[in-house]
Amino acid sequence: SARLHGTASSSVLLGWQGSSTSVVEAVLPTSWYTGRRGRPQSMPKLEACKASNEAAALQGKIALCVGGSSGCGKGVALVLARQGCSVTLVGRNAARGEEAVAACTAASPPDAGATFRFVSMDVRSLSAIARFCDEFKAQAAQLDFLSLSCTRGGIQGYRPTAEGLDERVCTMYLSRFAFVHWLLPLLERADDPRVLSILSAGHHKVYKAWQSDFLTRHAGMAQRTFAAGFYNDCACAALARSQPKLTLIHAFPGFVRTNWHMELPWGLRALTKVLMKAGKSLETCGEFMAYPLLCGTFDSGFHSLTEFADPCASCAGDTAAEDGIWKLSVEQFEMRASA
C-alpha cells in the first residue's frame, strides 16, 4: 500500500491516467523539460532566499508543520528552527518524527528558548484533526506560521478513507485546510500570520465538476489531483478576501530528493530514482519554500509561487467558485468534527 509523506513532489504525477501530459512532463518542473534556461538562476536565487531567511528573527514565534517529519515540510521546519522559532511537527511515522525533532533542536540557536515536539496522527481523519486543533488552541497563545505539505503519492485509483473521502483529495486538500479552518483563531492572534501549502501551484488545471462532484468520487486519478490543486488555489483566494490579515501561499516544490518514488510501480520507481539525483535537497527546497513565510514582500493576500519562489499563474479568479468551494469544504470539516 502507498504511504503518506511530508513532501509534495509526488503530487505532480498528473499525467499517468486520464491526461495527455507525458510522464516526463508530470514528474519534472516545467523549466526542466522546456529547456534548461531556468536552472542556472536557481543558485543565485537560492543564495538570496537563504540570506533573506537568515535575517529573520523568530524568537517567540510559533509554527505548526503538518507533514514536517520528512521531505519539503522538514526542510521548512529546519529553516524556522534555525531562526529561533518553536515548531510542532505533525506526521505518521514516529521514528522520522523524532529524528526531525532532533534535527530542529540541533539547528536552533542555544539561546533562542525554542521548543520542538512531534505529534503522530493520521491526517486522513478530519475528526482527528479537529481534536488535535482543539488541544493545540488550548496550549498555544498564537500561531505565526502554518506549513502544510502532507500528500498522497502513488497512482492508485479512488480509495476512500474511513470517513468516506478520497485519500488523495483528503490529504492534499481537505486535511490541509481543515487545519487552517480550525486554527484561524490562533492565526488571527499573530502579528503577521502566514499559511503555506506546498503542492502544485501553476501545475494543475481547473476542476470543472466541483459543484456536481466536489468529493471527486467519479473522477479519474489525474482529475482528482487537479481538483486538489484547484481547491488549494480557490481556498487560498477565498480566505485572502475574508481574512485580510492572513498571507496565504500555494507553492510548487519542484523535483526534490525524497523517498516519494517508492510508492510508484517498479518501472517508474527505477526511472525516478535515477532522476532523483538531479533534484533539489530537502534543505534547498526548505529555503525556497520558507522564503515567502519570512520575507516582507509577501505581505497579506494570496500568492501562487514556483519552485524558486517566483510568482506564477493560479487557477483562482472566479469568486463564485472560490466561495462555493470554501463553503463546501467547511461543510465537510464541520460534519466530520461533529460525527
pTM: 0.86
Do the Cβ atoms of 176 and 232 come closer than 8 Å? Answer: yes
Q: Record the cell numbers describing residue 25, joined without a space.
A: 512532463
Q: Supply the pLDDT for residue 4.
A: 36
- List the single range of 76-90, 152-166, 218-232 with lowest mean pLDDT: 152-166
- Determine the distance from the C-alpha atom of residue 115 to the mean position of all C-alpha atoms in its chain, rounded to a whole number: 22
Angle between helices 282-294 and 42-54 (to 10 degrees): 60
Q: Supply the pLDDT for residue 265.
A: 58
Closest-CA residue to 200 (of 304, 300, 126, 303): 304
Residue 41 backbone dihedrals phi, psi, to 5 degrees: -80, -10
Q: What are all long-range contacts of 43-48, with beta carbons under 8 Å and residues at least 24 apart?
A: 45/288, 45/308, 45/309, 45/310, 46/284, 46/287, 46/288
Beta bridge partners, 301, equal: 247
- State yes or no: pLDDT of 278 exceeds 80: no
Share the mean pLDDT of the chain.
Answer: 86
Which of 12-16, 80-84, 217-221, 298-302 has maximum average pLDDT? 80-84
Q: What residue spans define the domains of the chain?
A: 45-231+249-338
Q: Residues 45-231+249-338: name the CATH superfamily.
A: NAD(P)-binding Rossmann-like Domain (3.40.50.720)
Residue 214 backbone dihedrals phi, psi, to 5 degrees: -55, -40
